[in-house]
Amino acid sequence: DGGITQSPKYLFRKEGQNVTLSCEQNLNHDAMYWYRQDPGQGLRLIYYSQIVNDFQKGDIAEGYSVSREKKESFPLTVTSAQKNPTAFYLCASSAKVGSTEAFFGQGTRLTVV
């Protein structure tokens, strides 16, 4: 079945560690996005990519990094520079630039221990 797969579902990070969240889609979508969700704050955009080998910062990019080496994959690295990384992370994709119906993965819950 077509869709977006995020892994892992749960992730624990120690202080000072970098961790990478995976996002894979087999929908042949051009655009992919990473959002962070905190209670009472809705979804905030971290990074987005409109095409392979290109990505732009969203509203809260500090402490995060991404890559888009393949159309299907858009991994997010949460670096040690992100001071408050505990949150629910959602990856999304849309068919093309300007197509605004986004499809979401099941999310990764990251906790700092």
Positions in the binding site for another protein (CB under 8 A): 4, 31, 33, 35, 40-45, 48, 50, 56, 58, 90, 94, 96-107
CB nearer to another protein: pick between 52 and 103: 103
Nearest distance from C-beta of residue 100 to another protein, angstroms = 4
CB nearer to another protein: pick between 55 and 78: 55
Nearest distance from C-beta of residue 49 to another protein, angstroms = 10
CB nearer to another protein: pick between 73 and 80: 73
Closest CA to 61 of 44, 73, 75: 44
Nearest distance from C-beta of residue 16 to another protein, angstroms = 29
Q: Strands of the chain (E only): list them.
A: 4-7, 10-13, 19-25, 31-37, 43-51, 54-57, 64-66, 76-78, 87-94, 103-104, 108-112
d(CA 107, CA 113): 19
